[in-house]
Amino acid sequence: MMMRLQKFLSRAGVCSRRKGETYIAQGRVAVNGETVTSPGCKIDPEKDRVSVDHRKIAFAPEKENLYIALNKPAGYVSSCHHRGEKIVLDLVDLPDRVYPVGRLDRDSTGLILLTNDGDLHNRLSHPSHNHEKEYIVETEQPVSRRDQARMAEGMVLDGKKTRRAAVAPISGNRFNIVLKQGLNRQIRRMVKKCGNRVTTLKRVRMGTIRLGPLEQGKWRHLTQKEVLSLKQEGK
């Protein structure tokens, strides 16, 4: 049974497939003692010897796919490893390894999805699929209609214009925004460019999955209907 190297790394609980591609490109992965840098490499997991950073990786049999919704509190990093920081995986008590889908910065709260389904993780994380992410934002100063329109139309960050967004006011200094991309701290940077500052940022929806009444710091398994909708969305 031949398998792509990045899928093997994901199955073995080392990292997500996308992260595995990065490890391979960085020359950190070896097969039978030879460094591999091509993400298209296929191996026989029952015969070939794989190591990452010179550490042998054992083959893991297929596990049941898990799909988790978590309400992330502030102060947690949406990463599998981050020295000196609390990570979202600290909040989930599961025997199998899962990985965050996308990012939610340390100071933000709200919905984050976790899964060990490598194929779905890759599709949902890739920016080309235009998955919607909805946020409720509170700012230090009231947000003018002009600034709302600027954010909706797109703003230049890092030399590139952001994609159009849906922006709707809630109150003077609170608004709802729906993005189809996820640049690093994008909303905070857009608000700052308007001469304002984000005080709280909460994600309430990812695609068809809503945060709902889930308490902060708590998690739940997605329903079969929710999983099916995610898989259809990820195609």
What's the angle, vertex CA 86, arms to CA 7 and CA 209, rounded to 5? 60
Question: Are the C-beta atoms of residues 53 and 37 closer than 8 Å to each other?
Answer: no
CA contacts within 13 A on the Cβ side of 229: 11
* Active-site residue identified among 48, 105, 107, 119: 105
Question: Are the C-beta atoms of residues 11 and 4 closer than 8 Å to each other?
Answer: no
C-alpha closest to that of 44 among 59, 24, 54: 59
CA contacts within 13 A on the Cβ side of 121: 27
158 noted as active-site residue: no
C-alpha closest to that of 57 among 78, 29, 80, 85: 29
Phi/psi for 134 (5° steps) reads -110, 135
Instruction: Give the residue numbers annotated as catalytic, written as ranges.
Output: 105
